[in-house]
């Protein structure tokens, strides 16, 4: 049991401390898009980036899923969690327009949130009454994608690892006292 505990603890520590992206600038820009210059999409909120494009959800989410996977050296992919669109107000900023909101995460590490606003279907027909194309610069776009990245500091990761390791050891010793 002691060897299993040591192997588990070391593997967990390696998993938690393997380098990955450190800011939103480490991720690729959305292809065929204009980077947003609107207030709240640039430097006002840390680790936020937004793009106007004609890329819909079926392209955007797999694009950033693969990009995030390539940024870490782990042999397995991250998890993809689907959240209600209204959660974007809590995670990104208030009054964020949203039709889908997904989180790409390596548990106990970092999270990348992908928020999409699609007032049109892929065939160009409007989803809502009064839908208008999005105007950025000289172009009109069908969609807006907003990203927010939440990195974790290595010190916090180490403290969490230490807490998990000590808790497992404590529960094992407590369980042995109860059984015997």
Q: Inform me whether the pLDDT recorded for 131 exceeds 90.
A: no
Q: Total structural domains in the chain?
A: 1
Domain assignment of residue 166, yes or no: no
CA 143, CA 56: separation in Å to the nearest integer? 7
Give just the sign of the alpha carbon dihedral 34, 38, 40, 45.
positive
Q: What length does the chain have? A: 180
Structural domain range at position 109: 2-153
Q: Using 50, 70 and 90 to split pLDDT, how confident is the model at 15?
A: very high
What confidence score (pLDDT) does residue 61 get? 97
- Please, what is the Cα angle at 35 between 30 and 36, to 5 degrees? 130
Domain assignment of residue 164, yes or no: no
- pTM of the predicted model over 0.85: yes
Q: Inform me whether the pLDDT recorded for 180 exceeds 80.
A: no
What confidence score (pLDDT) does residue 39 get? 83
The pLDDT tens digits of the residues spanning 38-48 come to 888 887 888 99
Domain assignment of residue 42, yes or no: yes
Domain assignment of residue 161, yes or no: no
Domain assignment of residue 172, yes or no: no
Domain assignment of residue 88, yes or no: yes
Domain assignment of residue 102, yes or no: yes
Domain assignment of residue 160, yes or no: no
Q: What is the mean pLDDT of residues 118-128?
A: 89
Q: Inform me whether the pLDDT recorded for 148 exceeds 90.
A: yes
Q: Inform me whether the pLDDT recorded for 93 exceeds 90.
A: no
Higher-confidence residue of 2 and 112: namely 112
């Amino acid at each position: 049991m002691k060897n299993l505990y040591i192997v588990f603890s070391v593997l967990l520590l390696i998993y938690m401390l393997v380098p990955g992206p450190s800011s939103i600038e480490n991720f690729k820009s959305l292809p065929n898009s204009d980077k947003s210059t609107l207030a709240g999409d640039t430097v006002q909120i840390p680790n936020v980036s937004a793009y106007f494009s004609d890329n819909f959800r079926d392209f955007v989410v797999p694009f950033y899923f693969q990009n995030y996977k390539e940024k870490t050296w782990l042999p397995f992919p991250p998890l993809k969690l689907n959240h209600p669109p209204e959660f974007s107000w809590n995670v990104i900023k208030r009054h964020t327009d949203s039709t889908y909101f997904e989180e790409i995460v390596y548990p106990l590490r970092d999270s990348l949130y992908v928020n999409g606003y699609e007032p049109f279907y892929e065939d160009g027909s409007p989803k809502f009454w009064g839908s208008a194309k999005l105007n950025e610069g000289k172009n009109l776009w069908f969609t807006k994608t907003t990203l927010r990245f939440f990195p974790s500091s290595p010190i916090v990761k180490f403290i969490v690892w230490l807490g998990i390791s000590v808790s497992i050891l404590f529960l094992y010793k407590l369980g042995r006292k109860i059984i015997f």
